[in-house]
């Protein structure tokens, strides 16, 4: 009897956690653009205090890139997307590595930030294709 009373009257399903429209790879891209800009400013400035602050901010921004990518990966993309885009696993792996210690967090090499932005662009392209479907 109790189980019958507690059973939901309506069952709902959704493609993602909330109605579509709350996820956007642009969030990761904005943070990755910040990472790249900080790397460029770091290279152009010899002041050790400035450089120290820049590194701290760059690492925070890189963590936010990873956060936004993980949200897309874990909350938006679902098994049907993996069937249609089998490269998604590798693409997210590469992007989060490029945002992490092996990439943007661990270097001031602007080329790593550019690689990260390219991966985010690939993810974005797939994201918008899935939204159009």
Question: Residue 69's domain is classified under what CATH number?
Answer: 1.20.120.400
* Residue 5 resides in a domain: no
* Residue 12 resides in a domain: no
Residues 77, 128, 59, 109: is their CA dihedral positive or negative? Answer: positive
Is 82 a residue whose pLDDT tops 80? yes
Is 74 a residue whose pLDDT tops 70? yes
**Long-range pairs, 71-80, Cβ under 8 A, ≥24:** 71/23, 72/23, 72/25, 72/28, 72/123, 72/127, 75/16, 75/17, 75/23, 76/16, 76/23, 76/127, 77/130, 78/15, 78/16
Domain holding 102, by residue range, is 23-132
Number of domains in the chain: 1
User: What are the φ and ψ backbone dihedral angles of 61, each rounded to 5 degrees?
Assistant: -65, -40
| pLDDT tens digits along 16-61 | 555 556 889 999 999 999 999 999 999 999 999 999 999 999 999 9
CB atoms within 10 A of CB 5: 6
CA dihedral 66, 70, 73, 75 (to 10 degrees): -150
* Residue 29 resides in a domain: yes
Question: In the numeric block, which tokens belong to residue 101?
Answer: 């210690």
* Residue 92 resides in a domain: yes
Q: What pLDDT score does 5 carry?
A: 66
| pLDDT tens digits along 83-133 | 999 999 999 999 999 999 989 999 999 999 999 999 999 999 999 999 887
* Residue 9 resides in a domain: no
* Residue 88 resides in a domain: yes
């Amino acid at each position: 009897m109790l189980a019958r009373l507690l059973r939901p009257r309506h069952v709902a399903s959704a493609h993602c956690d909330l109605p579509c429209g709350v996820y956007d790879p642009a969030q990761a891209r904005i943070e990755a653009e910040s990472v790249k800009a900080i790397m460029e400013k770091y290279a152009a400035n010899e002041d050790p205090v400035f450089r120290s602050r820049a590194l701290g901010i760059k690492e925070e921004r890189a963590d936010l890139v990873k956060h936004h990518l993980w949200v897309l990966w874990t909350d938006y993309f679902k098994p049907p997307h993996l069937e249609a885009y089998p490269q998604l696993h590798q693409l997210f792996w590469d992007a989060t590595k490029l945002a992490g210690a092996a990439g943007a967090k661990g270097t001031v090499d602007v080329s790593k930030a550019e690689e990260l932005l390219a991966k985010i662009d690939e993810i974005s392209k797939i994201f918008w294709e899935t939204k159009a479907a």
